[in-house]
Amino acid sequence: MNEPGTSLSIVALFLHADIVVKGVLLLLLAASVWSWAVIIEKLRQIGIVSRLARGYEERAARARTANELWAETGAQRDHPASLVLAAGAAECASEGPPQDESTGERRDRIERAMRLTLNAELRRLEARLPFLATLGSAAPFIGLFGTVWGIMRSFAAIAAANNTSLAVVAPGIAEALFATAMGLAAAIPAVIAYNKITVELGRFSGRMQTLIGRSGGLLCRVAG
């Protein structure tokens, strides 16, 4: 229990907190730091692939042949759009289809191969996003646990000291409430970032579906 006049600064609150509350605060701090690393990396990654996907989509809209579609793609061979087109080209060049395959069946086969590659790329882009969702939902409750524990300890110390003055009660209650504040500080950015990244991934997927639809016809004519 803190003595009257104890500083209520963040550092002082942490140093004087109960060991369980300290554990909760350290856990939330580590989770928050990791979540910011995930957020920054995902926003950077999705920004790059979305910008390049727009270029591929515009190129596919202008292209009249598969060669035009492939123009200037050499610099981004590891880009999802380039990998999707490569999967379509590989399926186009395969020798597996029957001789009596119709144009529509050929196009469906090529686009199916492209969508399978797109799904794999989306899974790669979605890696570590569940952590943000989990942190956003769990962090407030983890902080609340620290708060409840801290308040219980404070009340026990108050009863032992037989002194209920505000100067005695305030530091212990502040330490406990600090855990809730940390939980919210960890959860709010994670929730906001998760929603934004999910929306951006949906937009990226829509652009890629458009690209698959436009390029499927061009690759189908090559196959024919």
pLDDT tens sequence for the chain (224 residues): 444 445 567 777 777 778 888 999 999 999 999 999 999 999 999 999 988 888 888 887 777 777 777 665 555 667 888 888 888 888 887 766 566 777 788 888 888 999 999 999 999 999 999 999 999 999 999 999 999 988 888 777 777 777 666 666 677 788 888 899 999 999 999 999 999 999 999 999 998 998 888 888 787 765 55
Domain ranges of the chain: 10-223
The pLDDT score that the predictor gives to residue 95 is: 62
Closest CA to 39 of 192, 207, 221, 210: 192
* Widest pairwise Cα distance in the chain: 93
User: How is residue 80 written in tokens?
Assistant: 């999802």
The pLDDT score that the predictor gives to residue 43 is: 94
The pLDDT score that the predictor gives to residue 130 is: 94
The pLDDT score that the predictor gives to residue 2 is: 47
CB 150 within 8 Å of CB 175: yes
CA angle 143, 29, 13 (to 5 degrees): 70
Annotate 79-102 with b (16+ C-beta within 10 A) or e (fewer): bbbbbbbbbbbebbeeeeeeeeee
The pLDDT score that the predictor gives to residue 5 is: 46
Positive or negative: CA dihedral 105, 220, 116, 40 = negative
